[in-house]
Copies of this chain bind each other. A is one copy, B any other.
Amino acid sequence: MERYPRRHFLRQMGVGVGASAVASVPQLPGLTAPHVSKKLNVALCGLGRYAGYLAEGLAVSNYCQLAGLVSGTPAKLEQWQKRYTIAPKNCYSYQDFDNIATNKDIDVVYVVVPNGLHKDLTIRAAKAGKHVIVEKPMAVSVAECEAMIAACKAAGVQLAVGYRLHYEPYHQELKRLGQQKVFGQVRLIEVSLGYHLDGIPPTDWHLKKALSGGGPLMNLGVYCVQSSRYVLGEEPIAVTAQFGPVQHKDLYREVEESVTWQLEFPSGAIATSTSANNMSVDRFYAAADTGFFELSPAVSYGPFRGRTSAGELTFPDINQQAAQLDGIGQVLLANQPLPNHIAGVEGLKDLRVIEAIYQAARTGQRVRLTG
């Protein structure tokens, strides 16, 4: 069995994956052809594990391409530069990153550093006049999200959050089934995501509150919060939550090892979730008035497997990162505003719920949410 996320996340990429990803992105009015002559030039800011997935996605994207690199580690910068044939003038350290402002070769900065650094680098990229895509969770607090949105607005650039699942066909179907009430009103959602991180080194940034903002709720639970919200098309009005018992006390000194929570929505629907670093779980289930729909696996990089009370769900297994980059790239290239579900306001809404979950778990009290 798989014990460490690197292996969980490993995924075979087939020939033609990029093309099928593009096929799932609807053409926007104003765009003339699926294969545009100019691609958006994206700089990856942070060259960790997930940046590797994004580089794979960029390699097959029809609307974006890898054009720049930002890293605090010169050796990594050199390695990536050679591997992806990036011009040295498009490579930055965090010290000289602000010079990217004068670099016409870069259109977008994709911020993919530890969560606690999202805010500063997003604001610096915005001030440099670049559109920003920031990985989830958008930041470590509502206040940071607000500052990021304000900075992008002031700079006249767009801000997207790396919510890959909005471009994934199984999740697009979940959203349709829920929001269009295909099986009537959804009453109960059970969605959980966890990985068995027994091999996580004690120095990993995910364990440091200042860098991560929190434990698995921040990194995994955000998907559960997201999917609960977009399947229902509603915002939660109340939250209860419980921290799980800590198994690895030596590792989990600053952040939770697991947390379980319950969201209550205006329609009366309830969503219950667990996110954890000490168990493998990856599933989504919705009970609606006249049927159910579910995915398992559900939230990882796929391949997903799903069914409804009416039968199996079968969609192509796509390159999620390419699909997301295509979806966002297409909008930015067309100079159109990003839809709300992928914009900064969406990340902020998730952080509002996440803050309430932490408060509920810490105090043992039901936390009410308004607007």
Contacts and interface: CB of A to CB of B under 8 A. Distances in A.
Interface string A272-310: 101010111101010111111010100000000000010
A194 B187 CA distance: 11
Interface stretch (A9-17, A213-221, A242-250): A242-250
Interface in A211-265: 240, 242, 244-245, 247, 258, 260, 262, 264
Given A279-B188, A280-B292, A242 B240 contact: yes
Interface string A328-371: 00000000000000000000000000000000000011100000
B272 A279 contact: no
A280 to B, nearest CB: 6
A122 B191 CA distance: 42
B1 A309 contact: yes
A192 B190 contact: yes
Contact of A260 (B183, B192, B272): B272
**Does more than half of chain A's interface fall in helix, strand or loop, or is it mixed?**
strand
A288 B288 CA distance: 28
Contact of A270 (B274, B283, B287): B274
Given A292-B281, A364-B365, A187 B242 contact: no
A52 B242 CA distance: 42
Contacts of A316: none
Contacts of A196: 289
Given A365-B364, A366-B242, A287 B279 contact: yes
Given A1-B290, A188-B279, A287-B280, A247 B274 contact: no
A168 B159 CA distance: 55
Contacts of A285: 281, 283
Contacts of A244: 264, 268, 270
A232 to B, nearest CB: 13
Contacts of A260: 262, 270, 272
Contacts of A296: 294
B1 A287 contact: no
A101 to B, nearest CB: 47
A334 B274 CA distance: 46
A258 B269 CA distance: 11
Contacts of A258: 270
Contacts of A289: 1, 196, 279
Nearest to A288: B279
A287 B309 CA distance: 23
A267 to B, nearest CB: 9
A188 B258 CA distance: 10
Interface in A158-216: 183, 187-188, 190, 192, 194, 196
A276 B288 CA distance: 12
A182 to B, nearest CB: 12
A279 to B, nearest CB: 4
A53 to B, nearest CB: 24
A169 B1 CA distance: 26
28 contacts: A1-B183, A1-B290, A1-B291, A1-B309, A187-B278, A188-B194, A188-B274, A190-B192, A190-B272, A196-B289, A240-B240, A242-B264, A244-B270, A245-B268, A247-B268, A268-B278, A272-B274, A279-B287, A279-B288, A279-B289, A280-B291, A280-B292, A281-B285, A281-B292, A283-B285, A364-B364, A364-B365, A364-B366
